[in-house]
Amino acid sequence: MTDTATTTSVSLTVRDVHLAFGANKVLRGADLDVARGGTACVIGPSGSGKSTLLRTINRLIEPDRGDVLLDGRSVLRDDPDALRQRVGMVFQQFNLFPHMSVLRNITLALRRIRKLSEDEATSVARAQLELVGLAAKADSRPAHLSGGQQQRVAIARALALQPQVMLFDEATSALDPELVKGVLAVMADLSAGGMTMVVVTHEMGFAREVADTVAFMDHGVVLEAGEPAAIFEAPEHPRLRRFLSQVL
Amino acid sequence: MDTWSTLWETFFDGDSMREALPEMLTVGLPNTLILAISAALLGSVLGMALAVAGISPTRWLRWPARVYTDIFRGLPAAATILLIGVGLAPLGMEVWGPNPYPLGILALSLIAGAYIGEIFRSGIQSVEAAQLEGARALGFSWGEAMRLVIIPQGVRRVLPAWVNQLIALIKDSSLVYFLGLVASQRELFRIGQDYAATTGNESALLLAGLFYLALTVPLTHAVNWIDRRLRQGRSVTVDPDDDGGLALAGETALPPSPTAGRDQR
């Protein structure tokens, strides 16, 4: 789909990231490697730290310890706002801005951050909406869209900034089952187009088919990571085996 | 004269009203509007500053905002107007001469700011944290995210309460008469009171009251109208699906359930 992404994709490494909220140790030395243009799916039980790990990558949450590297370079000393322009994120609850049209949701950052003119921003936004099949909804308010459409707008909004990495935080968990497929299709396209992606998901089918790497998290660490076939067909860690027996 | 006709003439003496009407229209009404509108503008700017300071991560902004709000919400309006208007009068005299309006407007604004600040703050804080996260994830700084995404939503939610505060301001503007007004500076209430004193009945004051009602009652209805529109605006009507090639038959609107969050901290 967004082949422009391939030209700028980067590799991503999360190394020994620790994070505690008070006494609650949410991340206890989490590691993750995603090759340039690769897709990593992070699976694991609720409360295992998956979403928190994702947020340390774009520093919505600052890790206490450890490192996050893009193309081998640590991002922890970068300006967080500049970093987040390179790393797009899609949320479980979409987080679209309800007081703006779909189009303005996408043009806002293009105009205010990228300093594009109104016309340039609009044409970029319309092109992105076209790619997620929602060109006709440009002037609607998010509340007038279905959940699946809203999530695709959220994906378009993130992609409009031409990120080098995309993070998906349970992007389909808030959707009715029949809406999940369309969003996953957009994500699969993006992955095939060469975007570096980290996808926190409960969709095991998606992980199996689309991921290059599947990482299993429990209690704040990645217990096991590998190719989907290895993770799903020959899981080694007993906790991963137990988790898979519950979700598959 | 029996009691009833005495009462009638006390309140509804046409001659007294006719006598007061021209000055109410040409002097009182403009002055009341000047006081109320200036204080509404200044008070809203101040209120916004207090609201943002009140939710700032910095203690040195949060704390002064709290103290300020406690003081100006806690004092009687009359006391604040006298303290500012009379207390700072020597200073005002040097800056703009013997006009009580600037200090009167200042006092009204300081009071309104405290209330409006609380109104704005509650609106801003009612915006879901996810909205801030969504804006930050796009690369907006905290300030930009607040200005472009959070505050516009928060203020919209509390517009009815804000209009209520404007109504209170129109009424409180009558209190500047404490500061001593020359004839051309009198607002509605003072003119009504003066005519009541010279005519010996309250009809002119009642007329002033009618002027206040003519300003405030439409505003109260505006509040209701805004309230209704905001509520209806939030209801979800879904356009017919148009998925441009992505086969997604059966998609229906699903407002995200607030309890649907898994893994949310």
Contact criterion met (CB < 8 Å) for A60 and B144: no
Which helix (H) or strand (E) segment holds residue A66: the answer is: strand A65-70
pLDDT per position as a tens digit, A117-168: 999 999 999 999 999 999 999 999 999 999 999 999 999 999 999 999 999 9
pLDDT(B265) > 70: no
For residue A39 the two structure tokens come to 């897709």
Does the beta-carbon distance from B238 to A84 stay under 8 Å? Answer: no
Question: What is the spatial distance between Cα A135 and Cα A127, in angstroms, rounded to a whole number?
Answer: 8
Q: What is the tens place of the pLDDT at every residue in B126-145?
A: 999 999 999 999 999 999 99
Report the residue of chain B nearest A107, measured CA to CA.
Answer: B138
Q: What are phi and psi of A13, to 5 degrees?
A: -130, 130
pLDDT (0 to 100) of residue A9: 85
CB contact at 8 A, A131 and A153: no
Residue B181: the pLDDT is: 84
Q: Is B147 in CB contact (< 8 Å) with chain A?
A: no
Side chain identity at residue B122, one-letter code: S
Q: Judge: B138–A161 Cβ closer than 8 Å, yes or no.
A: yes
Least confident segment among A110-114, B33-37, B123-127, B195-199: B195-199
| Percent of chain A residues topping a pLDDT of 70 | 97
Is the pLDDT at B245 greater than 60? The verdict is: no
- Chain A contact for B231 (CB, 8 A cutoff): no
Inter-helix orientation angle B14-23/B203-234, to 10°: 60
Judged by a CB distance cut-off of 8 A, whether residue B159 touches chain A is no
Please tell me if residue B237 touches chain A, with a CB cutoff of 8 Å.
yes
Backbone angles phi, psi at A61, to 5 degrees: -125, 130
For A133, which of B140, B236, B244 is closest by C-beta distance? B244
Per-residue DSSP letter, A110: H
Which one, of B151, B204, B205, lies nearest residue B14 by Cα? B204
Q: In which residue are the tokens 């303005």 written?
A: A104
Q: What ipTM describes this predicted complex?
A: 0.92
